[in-house]
Structure 1
Amino acid sequence: MKDKRILFIGDSITEWGRFEDEENIGDNYVRMIRDYFAVHTPEQFPEIINRGIGGNRITDLANRWQDDVITHQPDLLSISIGVNDVWRQLDNPDMEQVYPDQYEEIYRTLIEKTQAETNAKIVLMEPTVIEEDVNSEGNQKLKPYVEIVNKIAQEYGLTVVPTYHAFIDYLTSERPLPLTTDGVHMNSTGNALMAKTWIEAVL
C-alpha cells in the first residue's frame, strides 16, 4: 500500500465510536483496516482519517464534502453511504427523502468534484444491510442503491467493495454469529466482515 493518506467517509457505520476515541478512528471496520496495515505493511503505514458521522445520507456528505474530503487531499478515498437514505424511508417517511435518482446524481457530482480537485483513488463501498433478513423491506429497497454504486464505479473506473453482497452471502449461509447489534449497526463480527471485504477488494 503506497497511499500515504486514506480517508473513510460515511454514516454511523463508519463513525462508530470515533468521537469517543482519542485517535478519532473508533471501534469499527476502519480500525480493523488500520490495524491490518500496522501488522502487514508497517513499513508503509498510512495515515488513516475517519470522517463518518451518524445519521448521514448522501445529501449530508455533499454539504460537508469540501471540508471533510477535499481539504484533506487524500491519496485514497473510501465512501460508504446509502443505508440512511433507505432507512429514513422506513422510520421517518414524512421527512424529505433521498430516492435513487437523487442519490445517483449527488454521488456522481461528488466523484467528479473529487477527481477534479484531488489525485485520490476512489473506492465505493456498497451499502450493507437493513435487518439480518435478506427479504426485509429495507434490504429490498437497498437494491437500487447498490446497483447505482456498481454502475457508477464501472462508468468511472473505480474500485467497488461488495459489502452488501458479502453480507447477503453470509446471511444465506450457515452463519454462526449475528453481524449487527440492531439490524444496521455492526457488532465486531460485522465489522470484521466489512474489513475483510474491503481489504480483499482494495489491496
Structure 2
Amino acid sequence: MGMDKQFRIVLIGDSITDSGRREDPEKLGFGYVRLIHDELLVMNPDKKIEILNKGIGGDRITDLQARWEEDVINEQPDYVSISIGINDVWRQLDQPQMEQVYPEQYEKIYRELCEKTKAQLILMEPTIIEEDIESEGNQKLVDYVEIVRRLAKHYNAILVPTHQDFQNYLLAGNRHKLTTDGVHMNSAGDMLMAKSWLKACEDLF
C-alpha cells in the first residue's frame, strides 16, 4: 500500500462497538475500536487509515438495517466491520415480552446488508453472554455465530473468530474477567476483541 492511499474503515455494531464514542473527542470510543485504531496508527505510520465508529448501544440487526444507508453506504468505506448479534439474543432473555429477532430473520437481514455493501466485509462473531460457556445466552448464541461464519464464507468476507477466542479463553480456566456484566467488555475483553480482529485482518494493512 502506497503512502498516498487512504483507507476508510467503518466499524458498526451495538454498545460493545459504541463504547462511549459520543463522549470521546475523537469519536472512537474507549473500547476495541480505539485499540484497533491505535495499533493500525502506530504500526502503519506511512498509511492514512481512517476509522469510523458507528456503534449504537442496544442495536440489533434490525437497527443496523434501518441505518445502513446513512451509516455505511453513504460513508463510502473500503472496509466494513460488522459486530452484531448479542442484543438479538439477550433481548430474548431479559425482555421476552418484546418482538424478537430469531435466527431466520437475523440471517435474512444480515444477508441483505452484505448484498448491499460493495466494500470488503469483515464479519465479527458475536462475543459472549455471561462468562460461562454453558449459560443459556451462549447456548442461544450458537445459531447466530454459525450464521456469521456461513455468511463470511459466502461473501468472501474476513471472519473475526471473536466468539471462538472468548470460548478458548474461558476454557483455559483463567479467572480474570473479560466483561463488567457478562456482556460489556472491560479493558481485557476489549483487548481480546482487538487482537482477534487485527490477527484476522493482518494481510489487509
**Structure 1 length normalisation: TM-score?**
0.96
Instruction: Give the whole-Å Cα distance in 2 for the aligned partners of 1:41 and 1:174.
Output: 35
Structure 2 runs not aligned, ≥5 long = none
**Residue 3 of structure 1: how far off its partner (Å):** 6.0
Q: Which position in structure 2 is the counterpart of 1:150?
A: 149
Which amino acid is 1:121 matched to? Q
**Residue 197 of structure 1: how far off its partner (Å):** 0.3
Contact kept, 8 Å, 1:85 with 1:98, in 2: the verdict is: yes
Instruction: Give the whole-Å Cα distance in 2 for the aligned partners of 1:148 and 1:44.
Output: 34
Which amino acid is 1:31 matched to? R
**Residue 45 of structure 1: how far off its partner (Å):** 3.4
Which amino acid is 2:106 matched to? Y
Percent of aligned pairs with the same residue?
60
Q: Which position in structure 2 is the counterpart of 1:184?
A: 183
Instruction: Give the whole-Å Cα distance in 2 for the aligned partners of 1:177 and 1:19.
Output: 29
Q: Which of 47, 63, 67 is the equivalent residue of 1:64?
A: 67
Q: Say yes or no: does 1:11 pair with 2:14.
A: yes
Contact kept, 8 Å, 1:33 with 1:199, in 2: the verdict is: yes
Instruction: Give the whole-Å Cα distance in 2 for the aligned partners of 1:131 and 1:91.
Output: 13
Q: Would the alpha carbon gap of residues 46 and 181 (structure 1) be closer, same or farther in structure 2, given more than 3 Å must change?
A: same
Which amino acid is 1:56 matched to? D
Contact kept, 8 Å, 1:6 with 1:47, in 2: the verdict is: yes
- 1:167-198 alpha-carbon deviations (Å, 9 max, x no partner): 00001103152100000000000000000000
Aligned-residue Cα RMSD (Å) equals 1.0
Structure 1 runs not aligned, ≥5 long = none
- The count of residues paired between Structure 1 and Structure 2 equals 199
Matches within 5 A, 1:44-123: 44-115=47-118, 120-123=119-122
Greater fraction of residues in helix: 1
1:7 alignment partner, SS class: strand
Q: Say yes or no: does 1:37 pair with 2:40.
A: yes
Q: Which position in structure 2 is the counterpart of 1:139?
A: 138
**Structure 2 length normalisation: TM-score?**
0.95
